[in-house]
Amino acid sequence: MFLEITKNQYFTINIIDFGTKGEGIGKIDTFTVFINGGVPGDKLEIKIIKVKKNYGFAKLIKIIKPSPDRVVPKCELSPKCGGCQLQHLDYSAQLRFKEKKIKDNLTRIGGFQDLAINPILDMSEPYHYRNKAQFAVDYKDQQFQTGLYTLRSHEVVDTPSCLIMHPLINQVIKRIRDFVAQTQISIYDEKKQTGLFRYLVVRVGFNTQELMVCLVLNSLEFTYDQELIAVFKDLPQVQSLVLNYNLASGNNVLGTTSKVLQGSPYIQEHMAGLKFKISPLSFFQVNPVQVEKLYQKVLDFAELDGSETVWDLYCGIGTIALYLAAHLVTPSSGKVYGIEIVPDAIKDAQENAKLNKIKNAHFLVGKAEEIFLQESQKKDFQADLVVLNPPRKGCEKVLLEVLTKVKPRKIIYVSCDPATLARDLKILCQDYYTLTHVQPVDMFPQTVHVETVACLTLV
Ligand SMILES: C[S@@+](CC[C@H](N)C(=O)[O-])C[C@H]1O[C@@H](n2cnc3c(N)ncnc32)[C@H](O)[C@@H]1O
């Protein structure tokens, strides 16, 4: 008999798998239900909250029998906060989830069968690993709040201190909360687009302990300069105090212009034997411990002999490019080129080359898909190795087509989204490349996100 499922019904359900966002999946007959906070192996009481044609969503009401992989989250905010979707899962089970996620995507979307995937590179201390906080701000119950949004909403989960942030970042958050309580500066209201203070962005260099504090404002008028400077007078790690102006509506955190209120326009981080300047608008990987392991894998897979011409596409502040340039065995003949869309990041990359006395690295600003195409049409163009490290949405198809024409000996694709990685690898491996290595790296413990390094060799 066909069972009709409707909103507000209660069921007892066994969780049999994970969804891509870390939700538990269970079945009521053939009807699939997604339950936030469910773990395979759980027996749960659930309440249906949304019904689609063949599937629905439910709320976890009660854990009748817990999965052996379930743990008590260290942070009591984690069931609500959109940041750590997997804190209720034992760390080794988190790692298995991520390995499976990569394998499933490569098989289902990429069409790769019988793949040997290396064991994921894990963290011995999977907390306090983030070097950057990007927190929304709000006033609720007459109290200033900072934090991430709850899942699928713009409601701030008030987070005075966050377990995955570096401890110095938590110190800054506390001081900013006190500063707002004292000054009562107005808080941005998304719907009305009024109010001054929009986001708080804090960055720290793990190996330098240098802090950047950036207040994102909805107006050029800010009359609390001296009060804000005073907040950090006894925290000498704050090397850079910045106001960023974002007067546009929409979800972008940072605007395109900034003013240095005190100190330097950038902070420094030391990583993998190199020094990096990082300015407010530049991308920098958020987990410095794991990123060293990741870059080492890129170097291992690259198997450089020192004579190569290497392209680092989507290069940010030039980290991978400079790391490879520094490791070319005979750097005088080898060359590295980086392409990046954000002009400030390219300025950082050029300064970082100078800072590290690397002369064989060159950086170009613009869209990777456009600049690489233009460069590939030049007479003396050469590309032995291409490293791709695009944002979550992956590479433009046109860039993949150029790569299959240029045919570098190797392509190393570093990705933070296994689905777009699988989509792009399918195109590259259609005729010319074989997927030789897949290395997962746990850059984002407690979350559903995972980084992958994939190595392709010309057939
Ligand atoms: C995942 S980050 C990688 C940065 C760098 N490889 C690293 O490890 O720090 C992706 C970078 O791509 C840049 N980006 C986004 N779209 C781009 C495009 N179409 N062309 C070039 N760069 C782009 C972003 O600004 C960001 O710096």
* 211, β-bridge pairs: 204, 238
Tell me the CB-side half-sphere exposure of residue 228, using CA atoms within 13 A: 23
Active site residue 416: yes
* 212, β-bridge pairs: 203, 240
Dihedral of the alpha carbons of 161, 164, 169, 171, in degrees to the nearest 10: 30
Rg from Cα positions in the chain: 24
pLDDT at 2: 63
Cα–Cα distance for residue pair 396/26, rounded to 1 Å: 36
Cα–Cα distance for residue pair 28/5, rounded to 1 Å: 9
* 388, β-bridge pairs: 313, 413
Q: What is the DSSP string of 123-157?
A: -SS-SS-BSEEEEEEEEETTEEEEEPBBTTS--B-
Ligand 1 centroid from CA 31, angstroms: 40
Helix (H) or strand (E) holding 97: helix 91-108
Q: What's CA 233's distance to the chain center, in Å?
A: 31
Kindly report the backbone phi and psi dihedral angles of residue 396, in degrees, each rounded to the nearest multiple of 5, phi listed first: -70, 145
Cβ contact 426:110 at 8 Å: yes
Angle between helices 91-108 and 418-428 (to 10 degrees): 30
Among 131, 314, 416, 417, residue to substitute to test ligand 1 (most atoms within 8 Å of Cβ): 314
For the record, the structure tokens of 315 come out as: 């290069």
pLDDT at 152: 77
pLDDT at 111: 97
Cα–Cα distance for residue pair 233/8, rounded to 1 Å: 54
Cβ contact 34:56 at 8 Å: yes
Q: Tell me: domain 287-458, CATH 3.40.50.150, correct?
A: yes
Note whether 10-65 and 132-271 share their fold.
yes
Second CATH level (architecture) for the domain 132-271: Beta Barrel (2.40)
Nearest to 437 by CA among 459, 457, 409: 457
Q: Identify the residue whose C-alpha is closest to ligand 1 atom 26.
A: 316
* 274, β-bridge pairs: 271
Cα–Cα distance for residue pair 450/459, rounded to 1 Å: 28
Ligand 1 neighbour 323 (Cβ under 6 A): no
Q: Identify the residue whose C-alpha is closest to ligand 1 atom 16.
A: 341
Ligand 1 neighbour 443 (Cβ under 6 A): no
* pLDDT tens, the chain, 459 aa long: 567 899 999 999 999 999 988 999 999 999 999 999 999 999 999 999 999 988 999 999 999 999 999 999 999 999 888 899 999 999 999 999 999 999 999 999 999 998 889 999 999 999 999 999 999 999 888 888 999 988 778 889 999 999 999 999 999 999 999 999 999 999 999 889 999 999 999 999 999 999 999 999 999 999 999 999 999 999 999 999 999 999 998 889 999 999 999 999 999 999 999 999 999 999 999 999 999 999 999 999 999 998 999 999 999 999 999 999 998 756 567 899 999 999 999 999 999 999 999 999 999 999 999 999 999 999 999 999 999 999 999 999 999 999 999 999 999 999 999 999 999 999 999 999 999 999 999 999 999 999 999 999 999
Cα–Cα distance for residue pair 274/384, rounded to 1 Å: 24
Q: Identify the residue whose C-alpha is closest to ligand 1 atom 6.
A: 315
Instruction: Report the amino acid identity of residue 215.
Output: L
Cα–Cα distance for residue pair 53/67, rounded to 1 Å: 29
Among 278, 283, 324, 371, residue to substitute to test ligand 1 (most atoms within 8 Å of Cβ): 283
Q: What are the structural domain ranges in the chain?
A: 10-65, 132-271, 287-458
Q: Identify the residue whose C-alpha is closest to ligand 1 atom 13.
A: 314
Cα–Cα distance for residue pair 135/118, rounded to 1 Å: 34
pTM for the full predicted model? 0.94
Ligand 1 centroid from CA 354, angstroms: 21
Among the listed residues 81, 416, 429, 455, the single catalytic one is: 416
For the record, the structure tokens of 438 come out as: 């897949």
Nearest to 444 by CA among 412, 411, 415, 413: 415
For the record, the structure tokens of 432 come out as: 């010319």
3-class secondary-structure state, position 401: helix
Dihedral of the alpha carbons of 77, 79, 85, 89, in degrees to the nearest 10: 100
For the record, the structure tokens of 275 come out as: 């020094």
- Taking every pair of Cα atoms in the chain, the longest distance, rounded to a whole number of angstroms, is 75
pLDDT at 250: 86
Cα–Cα distance for residue pair 176/231, rounded to 1 Å: 8
pLDDT at 154: 85
Query: For the domain bounded by 10-65, which CATH number is listed?
Result: 2.40.50.140
pLDDT at 331: 55
Alpha-carbon separation of residue 450 from 90, 92, 185 (angstroms): 16, 14, 38
Ligand 1 neighbour 340 (Cβ under 6 A): yes
Cα–Cα distance for residue pair 21/37, rounded to 1 Å: 10
Nearest to 320 by CA among 266, 372, 388, 379: 388
Q: Ligand 1: which atom is nearest the Cα of residue 342?
A: 25
Instruction: Report the amino acid identity of residue 445.
Output: P
